[in-house]
Amino acid sequence: MGQDLFQEYDFVREIFDAADDIASAHISRYCFKGPMETLTETVNLQPAVTAVNLACLTAIQRAGIACDFSAGHSLGEYSALTAAQVVSMADSLRLVFRRGELMHREALKNKGAMSAVIGLNIDAVNALVEAGRDAGVVSVANHNSAEQIVITGAPEAVAAVSAEAKARGARAIPLKVSGAWHSDLIKGAEDEFSAFLDSIPFASPVRPVIHNVTADSCGDAETIRQIMARQLCSPVRWYDTVCRLCDEKVTVFVEVGPGKVLAGLLKKIVPTDYEHRIFNVNNMKTVETLISALS
């Protein structure tokens, strides 16, 4: 991830150097060479993905491309805050590294699972989750699209809700995760992470950020800090976020960073008769494609 940008731009090397220093680990080496099992440990993956996000973001910003709105899915919200100048790049890396440390610690304490339920709407999944709590901790983690909803919690409870979803004709796909993210099973990290957030300077956004917790924007720095503390254990309202961006007449969507998952979700959420374009930016070629398309 990010190696061609690293080789091309001095400012990208500075971002990766900062990630290495903040994490006291070889984040850049894990991104470029692995091993995959080390890269995908939460404590390494969060600063690694964020470094790539910020590298891609900075590359397009330096080409003169600026966003009117920003949003990020879970971890990606920290890069969205940087895009809106709420937090600096270095502080974004500090936040996600600490977030990863705390989430990893809580995952070791409390075994968790996650599963993607496909084919039921949010009301139906919420009802199944409510009924499934007799089997243990379970909740909605991500409302990704109208009928793709990720559930999270104790393995037994997630399995029970998944079985009920299948009985109603849905698919339930277990996810390869190391913890029950966005659930009460990592709530033990919330107070410490909130205290760490208090140590980081937050500024009012120069452009709106649509937040995971509220699917709305906020202009107050202190309120954004509180929203980010809640984000750790709250559902990611991605479907509502994209709908809000459509309400704001956004017509160009750019997924910045590794992967194409969000672009895939956009294709499921944005109405087919809504005029729009979708781009991915995750390497030099896609940076150049975006610059060419928008210049």
Whether 74 is catalytic is yes
Q: How far is CA 17 from CA 5, 77, 90, 219, 265, in A?
A: 13, 21, 10, 31, 32
C-alpha–C-alpha distance, residues 20 and 31, integer Å: 11
C-alpha–C-alpha distance, residues 265 and 242, integer Å: 9
* Tokens matching residue 160: 């029970």
Contact 154, 112 (CB under 8 A): yes
Contact 30, 44 (CB under 8 A): yes
Reported residue count of the chain is 295
* Tokens matching residue 102: 């705390």
Beta strands in the chain (DSSP E): 113-118, 138-145, 148-153, 171-174, 252-256, 277-281
C-alpha–C-alpha distance, residues 61 and 45, integer Å: 24
C-alpha–C-alpha distance, residues 140 and 150, integer Å: 6
Can you say whether the dihedral through the CA atoms of 177, 179, 181, 184 is positive or negative?
Answer: positive
C-alpha–C-alpha distance, residues 278 and 58, integer Å: 19
Among 73, 143, 182, 211, which one carries the catalytic annotation?
182
* Tokens matching residue 36: 């995959």
Among 74, 88, 194, 204, which one carries the catalytic annotation?
74
- Write out the catalytic residue numbers: 74, 182
